[in-house]
Amino acid sequence: MKTGKYPDMPVMYDTRSLYPELADMEDMYEETEHLKKGLKSRSVDPVHSMNAYVFKQHDTPEMEAVNAKRGKPEEWMVLLRVSSDHKTGFQFWDAGEIYFVIHKSDLEKKNFSNVYCGLESS
């Protein structure tokens, strides 16, 4: 498994409230997919990620954390996303991902006692 840094961008389906300045991208599916493909590194094909975006059918991981914990969505970030992966034998329901979201102030203090954990599956 290769590791490394790679650029990422939000899926506009569920992030309109977090990134209103990018709302027009929702209607630009082909252009957005072309941009994502251009950003994708040839040396890294991410299955799991840190500090990345997570696609969800409803809400966002950040909104879920706010609803379960406190604060505003922009104060939270995805700390870790672990996806179902046949290479390692990980399977979260049918093809899901488990994600861990942390308040940015807690991360700054290295306080991991208030991390929110969620699961998304199709």
Q: Quick: pLDDT tens for 105-117.
A: 999 999 999 999 9
Q: How does pLDDT run across 4-30, given as a tens digit for each residue?
A: 666 666 666 666 666 677 777 777 778
Q: How does pLDDT run across 36-68, given as a tens digit for each residue?
A: 777 766 655 566 666 676 666 778 889 899 999
Q: How does pLDDT run across 72-104, given as a tens digit for each residue?
A: 999 999 898 887 777 777 777 677 788 899 999
DSSP string, 37-76: HHHS-SS---SSEES-----SSS-HHHHHHHHS-S-GGGE
Report the distance separating Cα 4 and Cα 46, nearest Å.
Answer: 9
115: exposed, middle or buried (C-beta count within 10 Å: 0-12, 13-18, 19+)?
Answer: middle
